[in-house]
Amino acid sequence: MKVNVGTLDTVYAEVELKPASPWKLGAAPSITADIDEVGFSPGVANLVTGTGVEVGQALVSSPITKLVTIMGGDADEDQTVEAAVEARFANCGQVSICNEMVLVHESIADEFTEKLLERVKSVKLGDTFDESVTMGPIANGRDLEKIDAIVQETVRQGATPAASGKRPTGEGFEKGYWYEPTVLTNVTHQMAAAREEIFGPVLPIVRFGSFEEAVSIINASELGLSAYLYTNDYRKLMQAIQVMEVGTVFLN
């Protein structure tokens, strides 16, 4: 859980902490208690539980909370591939604002996918006490079962597991909750992996043919916590920000 409270002492603001799920409270209760103890006013840090949709809708529909963050820079295909892999497989995909899927224009989809699959080969699964390892296990068995169920359902719906799509076997994986870095291709926005929160090391690639189609796919999702845009077209960027129904936008 990442908590940003750096500006609480200089501006009037509140922090709402939502664990990934009600049964994974982790350190959240102690964090809110610590914030209260150091002298912040009651209610500055609050712990809320529930599904992402329930809590997210309540927060983003409030007239009090409206924020878009833009991080700028020039983009290229290699940079986008690197960012997509880093964002999705960091902490085994167990980050609320990581990319749940990648939308790529059909004109560059083949080349982009080839580069991404090559990059995913370098993601090393294992014990993170080993410095050469770049991805560790799933937090618990319930999440592991959910991840595998979504992948298998998406494959049944017609997607292709272009990279893995299964649990590892062999030495080092006899105990614990492990899932290999997975890339799903031939995914449409109606499939399970594009509609449900996977919260694991699975990256669906969805192709689109037009700006309007991409926005439609994004807004059809109930998981619009954040979006990452990679484009050199400033006009398209500003247009997207106006019409996308997401909480935070990151650029390049």
Q: Which residues contact 40 (CB under 8 A, 6 or more apart)?
A: 8, 9
Cα dihedral sign for 150, 156, 157, 163?
positive
C-alpha 189/C-alpha 220 separation (Å) is 8
What residues pair up with 16 in beta bridges, in sequence order? 46
The conformation of residue 181, written as its DSSP 8-state character, comes to -
* Angle in degrees, CA 212, 82, 230, rounded to 5: 25
C-alpha 245/C-alpha 220 separation (Å) is 9
* 220-242: pLDDT as tens digits: 887 778 899 988 788 888 888 88
pLDDT of residue 176: 95
Domains of the chain, by residue range, sit at 1-66, 77-251
pLDDT of residue 38: 74
What kind of architecture, by CATH, is found in domain 77-251? 3-Layer(aba) Sandwich (3.40)
Cα dihedral sign for 199, 99, 160, 123?
negative
* 136-192: pLDDT as tens digits: 999 999 999 999 999 999 999 999 999 999 999 999 999 999 999 999 999 999 999
C-alpha 236/C-alpha 181 separation (Å) is 32
What residues pair up with 182 in beta bridges, in sequence order? 202
pLDDT of residue 7: 47
C-alpha 43/C-alpha 25 separation (Å) is 18
pTM of the entire predicted model: 0.73
